[in-house]
Amino acid sequence: MRPGSQATDGDIVRAVLAGDRERYAQLVERYRDRYARYATRMLGSVDAAEDAVQDAFVRAYDQLAQCKEPDKFVGWFFLILRNRCFAERRRNRTSASLEAANDVAAVDRADGGAETAERRRALQLALLELTADQREVFVLKHVEGLSYGEIAERLSTSIPSLKMRMHRAYDKLREQLRDHT
Amino acid sequence: MSGHELHPLVKQLLDGEITRADLPAELRAEGEAALRLLAGVDRTDVSMPAVTWRVMAKLERRRRRFLPWLLAPALAIAAALVIWLVPRTPAPASLVTVRFVLVAPDAKQVSLAGTFNQWDPQATPLVRAGATGVWTATLTLPAGQHQYAFVVDGARWVPDPGAPAIDDGFGRRNSVLTL
């Protein structure tokens, strides 16, 4: 690492693997909030998302030696978090729906605007009715603001398959939110 | 196409690939309604400041659990050697080396006060690992139970997030370490 420059992800991963365990805190600090919103929207609950992000970082630490390209730690970590979110959704679908509405309602009370609040709450609940695959594409595109190309690269899939998932999601959302549009 | 499905051009509008003006007049209303659906997307940032110390505390707790098992065979051999070499000397109290870790990126100084240093906040400073915000101190302590807390910037007493805590009877929480 050059003096005065910020350590790259690769520098930190290599240092941790060499025994400097505390350096791992830098990676956690660097990426925990970047994926906090993704996990929250995927799981519909801030508490569940916090547990998922924490578990994903612990799992990534355990498997760090398998991170073949240390400079691409963040992409590798995202896939671990993604698997954790999908597993959590399979386990805990119903309770997430109820919490989701409450979490969103809490945010909206602070924002003000009853119509916006109701719209957000309805969309949040409708999102939980999508399949995990459909929901993920929706979250990455419309919440995280990624393009189809960026999503395809991150998930190692094709743009036409992403579009197919998204377009089915649009149809389902429209059906569920008929009274809110 | 069924009545439940949006028109492909409206889907392209939602994807951001075309604008409202590109829609034929008969699809404008459907397009507007679909865009209102997206207006409910919640892009509020989410922050999880506690995750850093929770992760590091979990890793540290696990390390502490494993360490005695890893050391046990070595200690057993050492104890056997001591007994064999000096059979009539009373065995010394066991000593255990422990590393204390606190993640405190904003702290100027961190120290450790506990039963092992008469609760003196000056006695055992922690060392910051570069610019990481991770503070550590390694101590060798006698086996048994110890109580302690971190002292941040000389004033704020903080229990160890990675250890159990008990009430000290004066309204403060002390961390407990059993070796």
Question: Considering the domain boundaries, does residue B66 fall inside one?
Answer: yes
Chain A partners within 8 Å of B40 (Cβ): 116, 119-120, 122-124, 177, 180
Cβ within 8 Å, pair B41-A142? yes
Identify the segments of chain B with pLDDT beneath 70: 1-3, 64-93, 169-171
Kindly report the CA angle at A72 between A71 and A75, in degrees rounded to 5? Answer: 160
Question: Considering the domain boundaries, does residue B43 fall inside one?
Answer: no
Q: Which CATH number goes with the domain that contains B92?
A: 2.60.40.10
Q: Which residue of B has its CA nearest to A117?
A: B40
Spatial distance between the Cα atoms of B24 and B154, rounded to a whole number of angstroms: 70
Q: Which of A38, A50, A21 is nearest to A127 (CA)?
A: A38
Backbone φ and ψ of B147, nearest 5° = -115, 145
How far apart, in Å, are the Cα atoms of A7 and each of A2, A35, A65, A78, B156?
A: 8, 20, 19, 20, 30
Q: Are residues B86 and B170 located together in one domain of the fold?
A: yes
Q: Are residues B67 and B96 located together in one domain of the fold?
A: yes
Question: Considering the domain boundaries, does residue B173 fall inside one?
Answer: yes
pLDDT at residue B32, rounded to an integer: 92
On the 0-12 / 13-18 / 19+ scale of CB atoms within 10 A, B59 is buried
Q: Are residues B22 and B99 located together in one domain of the fold?
A: no
Chain A partners within 8 Å of B134 (Cβ): 22-23, 25
Question: Considering the domain boundaries, does residue B90 fall inside one?
Answer: yes
Cβ within 8 Å, pair A116-B40? yes
Q: Tell me which of A6, A26, A180 to substitute to probe the interface with B (most B C-beta atoms closer than 10 Å).
A: A26
Q: Are residues B14 and B34 located together in one domain of the fold?
A: yes
The structural domain count of chain B equals: 2
Q: Which residues are paired to B152 by β-bridges?
A: B110, B156
Q: pTM for this structure?
A: 0.63
Question: Considering the domain boundaries, does residue B63 fall inside one?
Answer: yes
Chain A partners within 8 Å of B59 (Cβ): 21, 24, 58, 61
pLDDT at residue B83, rounded to an integer: 34
Identify the segments of chain A with pLDDT beneath 50: 2-4, 94-95, 104-110
pLDDT at residue B79, rounded to an integer: 39
Is-contact A127 A45, C-beta < 8 A? no
- Check residue A70 and report its DSSP letter: G
Q: Which residue of A has its CA nearest to B6?
A: A171
Q: Are residues B24 and B59 located together in one domain of the fold?
A: no
Question: Considering the domain boundaries, does residue B44 fall inside one?
Answer: no
Q: Which residue of A has its CA nearest to B8?
A: A167
Compute the nearest-CA separation of B126 from chain A (Å): 13
Question: Considering the domain boundaries, does residue B2 fall inside one?
Answer: no
- Domain topology for A7-91: Rna Polymerase Sigma Factor; Chain: A (1.10.1740)
Q: Are residues B18 and B66 located together in one domain of the fold?
A: no
- The ipTM estimated for the assembled molecules is 0.80
pLDDT at residue A161, rounded to an integer: 96
Q: Are residues B102 and B20 located together in one domain of the fold?
A: no
Q: Are residues B143 and B73 located together in one domain of the fold?
A: yes
Q: Are residues B158 and B78 located together in one domain of the fold?
A: yes
Q: What range defines the domain where residue B30 resides?
A: 8-38
Cβ within 8 Å, pair A33-B37? no
pLDDT at residue B115, rounded to an integer: 86
Compute the nearest-CA separation of A90 from chain B (Å): 23
Compute the nearest-CA separation of A69 from chain B (Å): 22
Q: Are residues B86 and B24 located together in one domain of the fold?
A: no
The structural domains of chain A, with segments of one domain joined by +, span 7-91
Compute the nearest-CA separation of A92 from chain B (Å): 21
Cβ within 8 Å, pair B45-A33? yes
Q: Are residues B62 and B25 located together in one domain of the fold?
A: no
Place of tokens 């070595």: B74
Q: Are residues B155 and B77 located together in one domain of the fold?
A: yes
- Tens digits of residue pLDDT in B27-74: 999 999 899 888 888 888 888 888 888 898 888 877 766 555 555 554
Question: Considering the domain boundaries, does residue B27 fall inside one?
Answer: yes
Q: Tell me which of B55, B101, B102 to substitute to probe the interface with A (most A C-beta atoms closer than 10 Å).
A: B55
Cβ within 8 Å, pair A22-B133? no
- Residue by residue, DSSP assigns chain B as --TTSPPHHHHHHHTTSS-GGGS-GGGHHHHHHHHHHHTT--------THHHHHHHHHHHHHHHHHHHHHHHHHHHHHHHHHHHHSTTSPPPPPEEEEEEEEE-TT-S-EEEEEGGGTT-TTTEE-EE-TTS-EEEEEEEEESSEEEEEEEETTTEEE--TTS-EEE-SSS-EEEEEE-
Spatial distance between the Cα atoms of A49 and A39, rounded to a whole number of angstroms: 5
